[in-house]
Structure 1
Amino acid sequence: MNSLIVISVLAIIILYLGLFKVKAGLLPVSILGLLAALGLSIAEWNSDASPIFSGMMLFDNFAVGFSSLCIGTTILIFLLSKGYFEKISENVAEYYTIILFALAGTIMMVSYNNLAMLFVGLEIMSVSLYILAGIKKKDFASNEASLKYFLMGAFSTGFLLFGVALIYGASGSFNLIEIGNYVKNPQNIIDPIFYVGIVLMIVGLAFKVGAAPFHFWTPDVYEGAPTLITLFMSTVVKIAGFAAFLRIFQVSFSSLSQFWTPTLTAITILTLFIGNITAVYQNSFKRLLAYSSISHAGYMLFAIVALGAASTNAIFLYAVAYVLASTVAFGTLILVKAKTGSDSIESFNGLGKSNPFLAFAVTVAMLSFAGIPLTAGFIGKFYMFNAALSQNHIWLVLIAVLNAIIAIFYYFKVIVAMYFQTSESQIVIQTPATYKVVLAVSAILTILLGIYPACLTTLF
């Protein structure tokens, strides 16, 4: 709870710093504030997990873990933002402020104990992202991204809200525990509208995490939005979406798994195939990462399809691996595009010779995305597959393995471009100090978690 208060106050402080033209203090104050919020969040680990605000929110270890991950990821993104927003607009404070408000919304999404609070957090995050996606006013692609995200986001929110209304109508409560008790009570005859409510909530939440067939916004929005905003959307927003997804199904709907598991299984398979097969044909590195994020949404859905005691650990470990690899990939893309003016895979040609450090970091990220052993991505996939096998989803795992083989092709395409292709321009890409720190830390942690994953596998 303390971290949410600090972030909300920090956003207002940053807004006033921008009002008084204190541009030099925006980044350091933002990072210091987020470090304070991260410390306060971690301090709540294993503390009294009683619901607060009349049962509206619950800061248990689940909420603390995912909140800390969201805050830590935002810190990495802000470290990459030095000089980035200044090139886009003179009003830099608005970027930091809106991102912080979006972060506050994600924390509400991972700590909700009431469906009304889920909706409030979701809308705070979504409205912030509609603005951030189109914040480059003179860029047609950015405007298009914002419009598409707004229209489809509003449409999906309608599904989610309708689902919440039907669940409330059947159970008589917005509280997750009371909804779960309604489902588990053998004396209750579950109203058919409750099942319709579950399906509508699946549709709304599947849109937020970019799962097929509700993924159509993802490639265009990821491509049109500023790259750092795309990084925020593909990591922090996706983490919050899956945490919210997992929380309600774990607490309220677990007793009805026979009803919703087939639906989620079909969505998972469709997401894997659409994400991976479409990514193979991409020449733009940014769109490749967009379709890659769709496929990773499919892998993270395993934790919900195979709902059990290990689901939280599995999705948290996978989220950490995905965040680290995405930070390296998008961070490097910013530097490459700034120099070459292109985000095509060909713009990475010869990077292994011109900048061995960047090439090594990207190689680690691509190997982790592909799930190659000794990387965090491999451990993440292993735990997801293990969770599915424990629930006898053997065919689902076989389909996922097939998709992992497909993914190797397009991830290695980037590695081949860096080490086995030559660049005609011979442009030397310089790496700023903050980028070196962020990329080095992310790459090292990716390898360390691939070798010693035990520090995260027993958290929950």
Structure 2
Amino acid sequence: MNIIITIAVTALVVLYAGLFKAKKALLPLSLFGLLISLVFVVTSWNTNQVSYGMMQMDNFALAFSGLTIISTFFILLLSQNYFAKNSDNIAEYITLILFSLVGVIMMLSYKNMSMLFIGVEIMSVSLYILAGIRKSNLSSNEASIKYFLMGAFSTGFLLFGITLIYGATGSFDLEVISEYLVGNYNAVSPLFYPGIILLMIGLCFKVGAAPFHFWVPDVYEGAPTLITTFMSTTVKVAGFAALLRLFTETFAPLHDFWMPPVMALACITLFIGNVTALFQKHFKRMLAYSSVSHVGYLLFSIITLSGQSSNSALVYLTAYTFASIIAFAVLILVKQKTGSDHFDSYNGLAKKSPFVAFALTIAMLSLAGIPLTAGFMGKYLMFLNVMGEYHVYLVAFAILNALVGFYYYFRVIVAMYFKEGAEVDLPTPVQYKLVLVLSVVITVLLGVYPSLILNLI
């Protein structure tokens, strides 16, 4: 609870600082608040605190909360030169990001499905505004409307699913629902099964799993790039962790019922995400479809329930998060300099900006799953998880899709090192260099020593 209060108070302080035109204090205040909340994450480890019977800060919630807070910290570091060029209302940007993070923490720590809904709404409402915060930009407006409509639609599925499960069990509490399933395994209410499917659909909308992904490319492309970074990393971590907690813990007794549709979703998501990314000509849109494909790999962690499902997902999401932060940070730099995110904008980048090109290369290698990067360990753990149940054909299908991914990830590397272009010299601010260096170190370190976080949960 201390984590949520700290972030919420920080958001309010930043908002009031904006009213008094204290622009230089906004970013330091935000970063300081996130550091304090990170201290609470560390000091709460192994305490298993329960707040009002509604939220539980167990190690699962704390591990993913730590990841989302660090990723938000990095994203806010990238905001120093970003917001100043696009808006005078910097405080509003940062405040909405922090309020969205409050919803994220609720989604990670819910013990009651009503708190899951509240967390989803707090996170989503902030993001609807952030996606369209450039009021004079038609693409931003379109992104906001599409995100709002699809978000409202998915919330309807989520609420209907929660309602059916409440009708079957008489409770929103996850422990009570789990006890009901264990005690009535052979006589589960008919309401429960459609409730699971509707909850699955609602959460798959939030994480961007196919065929519920059709909002992702347009929203990611139209929203400000920094907001897209937040949506692609922190928000995706929250959505998938919420899905993981619900299905691997509460709904585990009905695994045989919901496993086949999850497997089908994983295959469809992998295929559509990877194949569609092949045909993209713009880096940002390619990253959008790439994020869809990674959801397919992440679904492997719940196809086969094991004691390592949560840890494997944590490693994968950590690898994906920091590689994506690098990719979007470089995208911001390139777009600010050239005004375009077309692949041709990256031609010859390594000659004038070798450090930026090297960081982006590490990110692309990690997203592709090349050894000695965190992305390789993430994919390896996902494949290992389903191999335990002899889903050989599923693994083979996933490996073929990973090979397809090599093409569009290496396309960027080839453009930077082997194609002639404008050879743009990117001015890289200090905070960008700091984020790139730390993200590269984390990506390589986890690729070599995944045990650093593999057994956290």
1:105 matches 2:107: no
Structure-2 residue corresponding to 1:45: 45
1:294-305 → structure 2 map (5 Å cutoff): 294-305=292-303
Residue 85 of structure 1: which of 61, 71, 83 is its match? 83
Structure-2 residue corresponding to 1:389: 387
Is 1:182–1:188's contact at 8 Å kept on the other side of the alignment? no
Whole-angstrom distance in 2 between the partners of 1:342 and 1:50: 48
Is 1:160–1:201's contact at 8 Å kept on the other side of the alignment? yes
Is 2:143–2:218's contact at 8 Å kept on the other side of the alignment? yes
**1:1-59 residue CA offsets vs partner (Å, 9 max, x unmatched):** 21111001001001100111110100011001101111111211111x14321x11100
Whole-angstrom distance in 1 between the partners of 2:148 and 2:333: 29
AA aligned opposite 1:26? L
Q: Kindly state the Cα deviation for residue 426 of structure 1 after the two structures are TM-superposed.
A: 3.7
Whole-angstrom distance in 2 between the partners of 1:427 and 1:232: 26
Q: Kindly state the Cα deviation for residue 110 of structure 1 after the two structures are TM-superposed.
A: 0.3
Structure-2 residue corresponding to 1:449: 446
Q: Kindly state the Cα deviation for residue 307 of structure 1 after the two structures are TM-superposed.
A: 2.0
Whole-angstrom distance in 1 between the partners of 2:113 and 2:391: 30
Structure-2 residue corresponding to 1:254: 252
Structure-1 residue corresponding to 2:376: 378
* DSSP 3-state at the match of 2:191: helix
Is 2:348–2:424's contact at 8 Å kept on the other side of the alignment? no
Is 2:347–2:423's contact at 8 Å kept on the other side of the alignment? no
Q: Kindly state the Cα deviation for residue 396 of structure 1 after the two structures are TM-superposed.
A: 1.3
Between the two proteins, the alignment pairs up a number of residues equal to: 457
Structure-2 residue corresponding to 1:62: 60
* DSSP 3-state at the match of 2:341: coil
Is 1:157–1:204's contact at 8 Å kept on the other side of the alignment? yes
Whole-angstrom distance in 2 between the partners of 1:160 and 1:187: 24
Q: Kindly state the Cα deviation for residue 454 of structure 1 after the two structures are TM-superposed.
A: 1.0
TM-score, normalised by the number of residues in structure 1: 0.98
AA aligned opposite 2:242? A
**1:283-305 residue CA offsets vs partner (Å, 9 max, x unmatched):** 10000000000000111111111
Residue 147 of structure 2: which of 146, 149, 153 is its match? 149
Whole-angstrom distance in 1 between the partners of 2:396 and 2:444: 26
* DSSP 3-state at the match of 1:214: coil
Q: Kindly state the Cα deviation for residue 187 of structure 1 after the two structures are TM-superposed.
A: 6.7
TM-score, normalised by the number of residues in structure 2: 0.99
Is 1:160–1:204's contact at 8 Å kept on the other side of the alignment? yes
Whole-angstrom distance in 2 between the partners of 1:72 and 1:95: 18
1:205 matches 2:199: no
Whole-angstrom distance in 2 between the partners of 1:187 and 1:286: 47
Q: Kindly state the Cα deviation for residue 427 of structure 1 after the two structures are TM-superposed.
A: 2.8
* DSSP 3-state at the match of 1:343: coil
1:326 matches 2:311: no
Structure-1 residue corresponding to 2:435: 438
* DSSP 3-state at the match of 1:113: coil
**1:332-367 residue CA offsets vs partner (Å, 9 max, x unmatched):** 000000001001111000011010000100000000
1:131 matches 2:111: no
Whole-angstrom distance in 2 between the partners of 1:17 and 1:51: 33
Question: Structure 1 residues 335 and 187, CA, compared in 2 at 3 Å: closer, same or farther?
Answer: closer
> What stretches of structure 2 of length at least 5 have no aligned partner?
none
AA aligned opposite 1:211? A
Structure-1 residue corresponding to 2:34: 34
Structure-2 residue corresponding to 1:264: 262
Whole-angstrom distance in 2 between the partners of 1:251 and 1:452: 28
Q: Kindly state the Cα deviation for residue 392 of structure 1 after the two structures are TM-superposed.
A: 2.4
Q: Kindly state the Cα deviation for residue 393 of structure 1 after the two structures are TM-superposed.
A: 2.0
Q: Kindly state the Cα deviation for residue 276 of structure 1 after the two structures are TM-superposed.
A: 0.2
* DSSP 3-state at the match of 1:342: coil
AA aligned opposite 1:444? V
Whole-angstrom distance in 2 between the partners of 1:457 and 1:83: 35
Q: Kindly state the Cα deviation for residue 448 of structure 1 after the two structures are TM-superposed.
A: 1.2
Whole-angstrom distance in 1 between the partners of 2:240 and 2:322: 17
> What stretches of structure 1 of length at least 5 have no aligned partner?
none
* DSSP 3-state at the match of 1:422: coil
1:215-294 → structure 2 map (5 Å cutoff): 215-294=213-292
Q: Kindly state the Cα deviation for residue 188 of structure 1 after the two structures are TM-superposed.
A: 6.0
AA aligned opposite 1:44? S
Is 2:185–2:253's contact at 8 Å kept on the other side of the alignment? no
Whole-angstrom distance in 1 between the partners of 2:108 and 2:424: 44
* DSSP 3-state at the match of 2:51: coil
